Every structure is written in C-alpha cells, then in structure tokens.
Amino acid sequence: MKSAVKKNESKKAKNEASMEDFKFEYEYEKIIPDLLKKIYPMNMCWNPSQGIQNKKDYLFGIIIGLFLCLVIIRQAVGIPLLFLFILLAGRTIKPIKSYLLIALIMAFKILLISIIVINNSNGLDLATGKIIYQRTVNDIILLFMLFVALTVDNKKGFFHFCIFLFILDLLFNVYTYIYGVTPYGDIPNKRFYDIALRVEGIFRHPFYSILISVAALFVGFLERRKWLILLAIINILINGSERGYLILFFIAIFFPLIHFKVKEKYLNIVSVMMVTIIFGSVYYLANKLTGFMAHQDRISRWAAGFYSILINPFQISSWIRWMPQEFPENLKFYPTIEQSYFQMNAESLYLSQAVNYGMLICLVTIGVYYFFYNRLRSKFIFLISWDAQIALLFSYIIFLDGFFAYSMGAIYITFFYCIFCVVTDSSKLSDVK
C-alpha cells in the first residue's frame, strides 16, 4: 500500500515538473525576440521579406565578398586587404568576455603552430613564414572575426554576393557538362567509381565548387528561397566528389533532428553513429572492392594517423610535437605516407592536426568549434528561431565535415562560417567603434 502511494506521489511530482518545463518554454517563446537581441551575437530575428534598410551597409557586405574572392585567388594579398577594409570601415568592437577567452586560445594555438613549423623547418626565414601563414590562415580569419560586428544589411550584402558567386559556379559546371571541358580549357576528372564528373567550378577545384554550393544552400535555408536550395543541391549532386554527397547526407539526417528539437544526447549519439558508419563504409570499399585506390590511400592515412597517436599516447611528444618526428619503420608499408609527421595529410582536419602538431592542437580546434555550436545550442535560441536553427545546423555540419575533409576550400567556408555563426550583430551593441 505504501509503495503504491509512493509511486503515485512520484508520478505526480514528475507531471508537475513537466508542466513547469512547459510553462517555462511557453513563457520564453513569448519573450524571446527581445531577450535574444540582448544576449546573442548572431542575428536571431532574420526577416527574409524585409527589404534593404541601409544601402551603404548592403554594399559593404558585397565588397567583403569581393575581397574574399581575392583571398581565394591570392591569399597573401587578399587577407591583409580584407582585414584593412573592415578596420577602416570601423566594424571592429570590444567583444564579450567569452569571445575574448576564445581569442586568447586561438592566439595561443597560432603561436604553438608557428613554433612547431619553425622547429620543423630550417629556422625562421621567408619560406618558413609562408608555411606558417598557410597553416594558420583559417585560425587567423576566425581570430580576427571575433572582433568584428556587422549589421543585418552587411550580412545580406555578403550572402547575396555568395548567391551571385554560386550562380557563376553553377554556370561553369553546366558549361563543363555541355562541352566536356571547363571554361578554362581543363578536362574534368572522373574516377571509375564516381557517379558524375568532378566538375571544378569557378575556382578550378571540386571542393571549392561544393563549398560554394553548401554556402548558397544555407543562404537558401536562411532566406527560404526554394529555387536556390534546389539549384544548390543540383550543383552538389552533379559534382562527382563524395564530400558533397556526404554533406547532403548529414543535412538530411540532422535538419529534422534540430528542427524538431531533439535532445542533445540523441544528437550526439546520432553523430557518433554517422562518423562510425562513414569510416566503416570507406574501410569496406577500400578492402572488399578492387579499384578504389583513393579510398585505400585514405584508409592507410587514417590508420597511420591513429597509429602515430596511439603508439605513445602519454608522451609529451604525442600532445605537442615541438621537434621533428618521423614515422617508425613498421609504417613504411604504406607507400603514400610522408616520412615526417609534420608533412602528413591524414585526410581529416582533426586527425591531421593531431599528427602534425600534437593532440593538444587538435583538441583546441574541436573545443573552439564546440564553443560556437554550444552557444547556438542554448535553450533560449533552440526554442523558436528559424535562423538560429539554420545557424546551429550549419555549425554542426562544419564540425562533422572536419572528420573527413582537409584544407582545400577551407578559407571560403571558414569566412562564411564566421559571418553565419560567429560575428556580432552590431544592432545589439552600443560599443561599435
């Protein structure tokens, strides 16, 4: 009898708790718009039907896009000019405390990578400086953008330039399919297991074309442009690289999970399952089917990368590779593996950083991406805002893409990621300089 009474009391307590949660969510759904404007740096009240409020701000966003193209074409010239333009336009701010902490961590990461590069090179000279710049450019972009605030019209101008760039890229790819060569006169590549040609788009590489399409896809989601979403998906599908198909697969899986507010633990479980399935699928194709040379090479690099970490996981050299290290003799049977840890491309952003620089750098990268994801994942944002959900989805996709992708095209998508998920909305600040 007593146990039955206790069960009834516990059920009653649970029901009351669930009702309190419902009331909490309901009350905040009514007051979120004003509350979010004060708390979060991302613009959470994006209205695609709203026209351009400030033409100068809109033009500023377009010019940022033009400078980004220059960065892709000529990094050494484009990055300084892009940063200088933003500085002279007075778009820098004193960021919030959490952003300052991330800025310190990013600066520390860049310093560590610079020291490792110097120790693995012939001292500090011009050639070494170029290597440092090439290996830290994405971190430099992210660090700088922590101190930038943009208006809604700034973002609209930039996003609309991304649409224009995507249309050009799509036209280049359509031309390639019609005439069999790119507008530059290059013959597109197609591996025997590819579904489609590896079309290169405007920047002459499939990864750039895919990432330009992914950016346009998320602008389409943000502004609810169905035609843009459809064309972006088509441009990804006609590109033979599996990276594009993988990104679409992730979007198809995680979009409904995020939209219908699935709990964090279930998102994490699905993420682990997805990563495991992809690694397992590539391993199966490489070992069971003949001719998958690229996958065989990818598997060998993954295996060598994991081995380099696990062989001595508790040694300082595995956490931070201050001095040059070479692969042991028992890894020489991998014919395409570079001799030095520092030089190896492990076909994964996180794994490559763990091999090149040590696990500390890898964990810092993962931690920074998780910080921005977690910021967007906050309960306040997750309740109603459409643009917050899209930003959260994009943040999640970029994080997962790092498990399988490396550097090509990273500058474009890193800058887009900063505009989409990182930069502060200046309409919510009183300290914009």
Share of the chain above pLDDT 90, in %: 14
Q: What is the DSSP letter of 189?
A: B
pLDDT band at 329 (very low <50, low <70, confident <90, very high): low
Beta-bridged to residue 425, according to DSSP, are: 150
Q: Region 256-276: what's the mean pLDDT?
A: 78
Which DSSP string corresponds to 213-278?
HHHHHHHHHHHT-HHHHHHHHHHHHTS--HHHHHHHHHHHHHHHHHHTT--HHHHHHHHHHHHHHH
**Tokens matching residue 47:** 């209205």
pLDDT band at 233 (very low <50, low <70, confident <90, very high): very high
- Going from the C-alpha of 205 to that of each of 51, 172, 197, 208, the distances in angstroms are 35, 12, 12, 6
Q: Select the more confidently predicted residue: 59 or 279.
A: 59
Is the predicted pLDDT of residue 109 greater than 90, yes or no? yes
Summarised one tens digit per residue, pLDDT across range 311-327 is 777 776 667 777 766 66
Lowest mean pLDDT among 337-351, 354-368, 377-391: 377-391
Summarised one tens digit per residue, pLDDT across range 55-70 is 888 899 999 999 999 9
pLDDT of residue 24: 40
Which DSSP string corresponds to 39-73?
H-SS-----TTS--S-HHHHHHHHHHHHHHHHHHH
Is the predicted pLDDT of residue 26 greater than 70, yes or no? no
Average pLDDT, the chain: 76
In this prediction the pTM is 0.80
pLDDT band at 408 (very low <50, low <70, confident <90, very high): low
pLDDT of residue 104: 93
pLDDT of residue 22: 39
Summarised one tens digit per residue, pLDDT across range 371-380 is 888 777 764 4
Residue spans per domain, the chain? 97-147
pLDDT band at 110 (very low <50, low <70, confident <90, very high): very high
Is the predicted pLDDT of residue 299 greater than 60, yes or no? yes
